[in-house]
Amino acid sequence: MPAVETRDLTKRYGGVVAVDGVALRIEPGQIYGLVGLNGAGKSTLIRMLLGMTRPSRGMVTLFGGRVSSGRGPWRRVGYLVDGAHAYPGMTVDQNLEIARRLHGIADRRAVDRAVDLLDLGAYRHRRAGQLSLGNGQRLGLAKALLPRPDLLVLDEPGNGLDPAAVVALRELLRRCAGAGVAVLLSSHVLAEVARLATRVGIIDRGRLLTELDGSDLTRRARTHLLVDAVDRPAARRVLDAHGVRVVGDTPEGLVVVDDDAVEHPDRVASLLVDASVPPTALHVRREDLEGFFLRLLAEHGDRTGVGRAS
């Protein structure tokens, strides 16, 4: 039985379609990464999965039960969405104790376990309002893990965490998945999603464009050319004027997927030199998740001018 299943899930706000006919399935033990640009529909989709937003059409089931059918499925769900919320005037311990009671967890040791899992022992008597951004995020994660959920829904879980805490979170989520927990992870850090997720869904303008696992990415990835220049916007204008297909702008350079340019980067260099915009770097690379993402969006409407996913 899937942990999450949606059918024709749709949400309209007046004339705006925020989520459009999404059908997805998340299995126990799977880490599902959901990626898309700002405004693509990720947050609305997650809120419908959790019953926080009512769909205009379609259905959501958690462990075979309708989300609207009562508290049954909720006892098996932990989540962190819309930021890490806490009572600022209460301590870490007090916040977790309130969460324990709200979940109906009889075992008082659940708070101690959550504190240990997120390494919050040194802060348990500190007020939540006095925590750093990273420690506040760890408190939110501790609340999500408190009920020992079978489904964990996390929106930007690495927000504010230092590199060591990100690594620790990654290993924690892998252990959860290894124990059969289904994890839905939404993040703008595509490299982290690629490293952690066993399946990735790409959403744009409310539609689920594609889903892929590691082998799918290997099979569908293309080779592209990264082009950098001191005046990168000018370089892009030159390439556009000569019909060279640029699909995105990353920290390493412009992403060029034109087959001829990839085969003959020297021709690209000549174009730019002749236009007095000499390249500072040319690299032929195999697509990673970010490159695949940018190309896919370009193929579905060319919204890649913002450059980075979220």
Condensed to tens digits (0 to 9), the pLDDT of residues 105-153 reads: 999 899 999 999 999 999 999 999 999 999 999 999 999 999 999 999 9
Residue 72: what pLDDT?
Answer: 55
Q: Across all residues in the chain, what is the average pLDDT? A: 90
Q: From 172, 187, 219, give the residue that closes a domain.
A: 219
- CB–CB of 238/267 below 8 Å? no
CATH number at residue 139: 3.40.50.300
Same-domain check for residues 278 and 136: no
Mean pLDDT of 97-108: 92
Same-domain check for residues 11 and 146: yes
Same-domain check for residues 187 and 239: no
Same-domain check for residues 167 and 275: no
- Write the DSSP string, 162-210: -HHHHHHHHHHHHHHHHTT-EEEEE-S-HHHHHHH-SEEEEEETTEEEE
Using one digit for the tens of pLDDT, what is the confidence trace for 263-272? 999 999 999 9
pTM for this structure?
0.80
The residue among 299 and 18 whose pLDDT is bigger is 18
Same-domain check for residues 215 and 231: no
Q: Which domain holds residue 215?
A: 4-86+130-219
Residue 290: what pLDDT?
Answer: 82
122 domain-assigned: no
110 domain-assigned: no
pLDDT bin (cut points 50, 70, 90) of residue 75 is: confident
Residue 70: what pLDDT?
Answer: 54
Q: How many helices (H) and strands (E) does the chain have?
A: 11, 15
Q: Is the dihedral of CA 291, 293, 299, 301 positive or negative?
A: negative
Same-domain check for residues 63 and 183: yes
Using one digit for the tens of pLDDT, what is the confidence trace for 184-235? 999 888 888 988 999 999 999 999 999 998 788 778 888 889 999 999 999 9
Same-domain check for residues 137 and 152: yes
The residue among 301 and 97 whose pLDDT is bigger is 97
SS3 assignment, position 92: helix
Q: Look at residue 302 and tell me whether its pLDDT is greater than 60.
A: no
Same-domain check for residues 160 and 139: yes
Task: Give the integer Cα–Cα distance in Å for 50 and 80.
Answer: 11
Q: From 199, 219, 239, give the residue that closes a domain.
A: 219
Same-domain check for residues 202 and 153: yes
The residue among 282 and 303 whose pLDDT is bigger is 282
